[in-house]
Structure 1
């Protein structure tokens, strides 16, 4: 079996987390658990992955994570405001040190001129720190968009862990 770059990235994220004694909470409102799956494919991931949330509907974002419905109505579930709220909520509802959150429109439907298919927002947040929030528009089919979101989420986390050890 050959290892692809995603396997290496997941391994490197986990290595850096273990070195720093970091536990993660993941919120995957677009990829449906793809980031968590990539991390937990690596043996020993349980020392790092504290928990994951998959709040696909607005109702679950409100009920499971306590994101204010008013925030989702004002900005939409695919927004910088929503993804940052998801990251904060994950830390509030876990013992994790860091949260990674993502939300987006994987397609092939659901896009609008203001929020096209492929639009994604990602947030990485250290407990007690400031969130890094990114906006991207990825291209490709549904599967390619979801993979690109997961790849960028892991890369963003890896970068943040490297600057805030």
Structure 2
């Protein structure tokens, strides 16, 4: 099982067309987002690199998530995802950062059930984060399905952000 490659192809093309670069910061997906993007021929023109901050302390030490945010909100939270995205963009020198943090399952983490996934996007005047809608069927299917859906939804969210910026700027 692998995320839909056409989404990553579309993302690479959009970033390339805009002359923008991307960095990733991943927790529950453990590098699957970066691997999906780099599977696209020509991704090196837009993908700067990524951080895998699977352990909570690495979200602070590598991605620069404020310790106060981790202490108050936890590792599986919207503010954490946004700060992870910002940290990846800064650390890798990219125009955009996208981050994923959540619970792949089967057990809960921080009292949050499997399928709870937050995505953060930061860059070019955009700071956004939100809870992704992982289908119940994916959660029942297990960790791999949750991770694949998280990657696809994050790529779709970033594509939406890029296109929304175009619509707001008139072009």
Same fold (TM over 0.5): yes
Per the TM alignment, residue 63 of structure 1 is displaced from its structure 2 partner at its CA by 1.5
Distance (whole Å) between structure 2 residues aligned to residue 37 and residue 108 of structure 1:
23
Per the TM alignment, residue 164 of structure 1 is displaced from its structure 2 partner at its CA by 1.5
User: Residues 3-152 of structure 1: matches in 2 within 5 Å?
Assistant: 6-111=4-109, 115-127=112-124, 129-138=125-134, 139=136, 140=139, 141-152=142-153
- Secondary structure (helix, strand or coil) at the match of 1:46 reads helix
Deviations 1:41-84 (A, max 9, x none): 11111111101010011111121122222210110000011111
Task: Check 1:137–1:20 CA distance in 2 against 1; reply closer, same or farther (3 A cut).
Answer: closer
- Secondary structure (helix, strand or coil) at the match of 2:147 reads helix
Question: Contact 2:79–2:129 (CA<8 Å) still a contact in 1?
Answer: no
Task: Compute the TM-score of the two structures, normalised by the length of structure 2.
Answer: 0.87
Per the TM alignment, residue 111 of structure 1 is displaced from its structure 2 partner at its CA by 4.1
Per the TM alignment, residue 125 of structure 1 is displaced from its structure 2 partner at its CA by 1.5
Per the TM alignment, residue 136 of structure 1 is displaced from its structure 2 partner at its CA by 2.8
Distance (whole Å) between structure 1 residues aligned to residue 155 and residue 63 of structure 2:
22
Per the TM alignment, residue 134 of structure 1 is displaced from its structure 2 partner at its CA by 1.4
Deviations 1:80-99 (A, max 9, x none): 11111111212221210011
- Secondary structure (helix, strand or coil) at the match of 2:101 reads strand
Detail structure 1 runs of 4+ shifted over 3 Å in the superposition.
none
Unpaired segments ≥5 residues, structure 2: 167-171
Distance (whole Å) between structure 2 residues aligned to residue 101 and residue 15 of structure 1:
20
Taking only aligned residues, the RMSD between alpha carbons, in angstroms, comes to 1.7
Distance (whole Å) between structure 2 residues aligned to residue 32 and residue 121 of structure 1:
14
* Cross-structure match for 1:154: 155
Per the TM alignment, residue 5 of structure 1 is displaced from its structure 2 partner at its CA by 7.5
